[in-house]
Structure 1
């Protein structure tokens, strides 16, 4: 027996009109009419409510209506397939969100490396040139790396500090030259600084830099030899 005929028989048995049943299910009377004439079918939620109203089981309502069972099974498979498509399409979106949050986290957690953790290869040069290379490494935890370096010249002193931040493939070794420093041969000292400096800024005075903690001189020009009498 078709579902539509069973719905009609149960409705009549309960002495309900199509409108009475529609009001209970919060649907239109035409919807009930379409169900009873098999022009459309109720969804699972509606079937559950119908079984409660008619005091019967969903199995009893669907029994012998093999065509409807096949259609519902097909619709359910389509629904699962649609969910898979939606899930797959959302994966790139979630990955993008993870990347954005990771970038924000990394940007907000950048800090200046402590000079106590920086090892610089000895600079034995008497004078510096634009080709002078400063290299070394920083003892930083796993999943952190050097993000950038800043060089600030004030008078005849060059101040250097290194920024570190969280990184999966972070590097802990550095190599930089003095090609961007004006007249490096006139420098008297190169000093590593940390603590209190988060961003290099133009016009910072040597007095301000000298007051920062964790100062470390990595090169100093030799004092001129005194002339013999």
Structure 2
């Protein structure tokens, strides 16, 4: 049960009207009505006064009992895990995207490797006798075009 339902039930068990309860706590009848409707929550002082008046622990007054405590703690823990799982999934997606981007870049760079430039070199042994020049001729004439 929720706080507002507990208040109604406990008040009726004591055969009290909203006005009677309001007077016992020194609050307005409208305050009691808002608590019972669920549009407002009593202050901590009022919760303690309600607890004493009805003879129930504040946690029970707030709607917690042994059966729901375990369920609520699992729900809170579960919601924390869901958030943690969501963060983990986002991080894994980002990591996967980074790995994929790195693989694409590496593949692109490997394909773009420059093939050796063909050099305009001729082996000396393959030249005809009249095409051969000496070192001194090379210095005089400069590079062959």
Normalising TM by the smaller chain, what interval? Answer: 0.3 to 0.5
Larger radius of gyration: 2
TM-score for both structures, normalised by structure 2: 0.44
Report 1 or 2 for greater relative contact order, CA contacts < 8 Å, sequence distance ≥ 6.
2
Whose strand proportion is higher, 1 or 2?
1
